[in-house]
Copies of this chain bind each other. A is one copy, B any other.
């Protein structure tokens, strides 16, 4: 496996700076953020380390050079919008930009794009389903044509009152994954697996690794800590951030030794990218970089360097 990180945590660094930092901190790959250039509408969104809007082969070659110079690989392109948002204009913009990201990948010599399914958060899973099929069949078709694997992150995007009740991403559970992969049966449609979301959903994050081994395209290394005293007070019907906290790997409830143990046995040999969303490390660029240093130290216990 290859250890990397998600570039969203270093928005003030340029691409060459990100690449150099990755190499110095002992990472061998990086997932580069490809949001359209604009103001972010939520934390960790809106970062643009590769601007794919009018992407040329020259620009692509430049990115490849920068990474090659630093000795760091591209684990995948990342863009995590809500293509099923009820605002259909907004949804259309997301879809268009996602198409550009998919087309940019092969120019960069990369076959992985990571994103969300999206969801109309005011509706049930069933009621979102027709729109899911309508939007995603052509997207996966495009990915097949471009030789790109789409890794859907299993984040419910449901943390506070703003996303209540349904969250902004359908792909939250093995039960739903089965339905997705059944309805759009493509070998280019898979997962960007993040164990932390299974923790607060009270689910086993090891079991699905076996069933979905063929679908594991990318892995995010994020941790969460469930705070029992809060959960005892508000219960699972509260919004999730009322009782759990995103943390760096090793500071939460994920058993990373066991995770990498089963992951290795499934034959997974792709990127594992640290995703920093730990508020205790958000104070400054320096502390976010310290977070990446510490995460590399910790994960090197389980991922061969």
Contact = CB atoms under 8 A, between A and B. Distances in A.
B175 A233 contact: yes
B290 A305 contact: yes
A298 interface: yes
Interface string A150-179: 000000101001001111000011110000
A236 to B, nearest CB: 5
A63 interface: no
A293 B167 CA distance: 42
A278 to B, nearest CB: 7
B251 A232 contact: no
A87 interface: no
A172 B280 contact: no
A175 to B, nearest CB: 5
A250 B257 contact: yes
Contacts of A232: 174, 203-204, 207
B164 A124 contact: yes
Nearest to A174: B233
Interface stretch (A46-54, A212-220, A260-268): A260-268
27 contacts: A124-B165, A156-B237, A165-B166, A167-B237, A173-B233, A200-B236, A201-B236, A202-B202, A202-B231, A203-B231, A203-B232, A204-B228, A236-B236, A245-B261, A250-B301, A251-B257, A251-B258, A251-B261, A251-B302, A264-B281, A265-B279, A281-B304, A293-B304, A294-B300, A294-B303, A294-B305, A301-B301
Interface of A: 124, 126, 156, 158, 161, 164-167, 172-175, 198, 200-204, 207, 225, 228-229, 231-238, 245, 247, 250-252, 257-258, 260-262, 264-265, 267, 278-281, 287, 290-291, 293-294, 297-298, 300-305
Given A172-B237, A174-B234, 7 more contacts: A174-B232, A198-B235, A225-B261, A251-B302, A265-B280, A293-B304, A301-B301
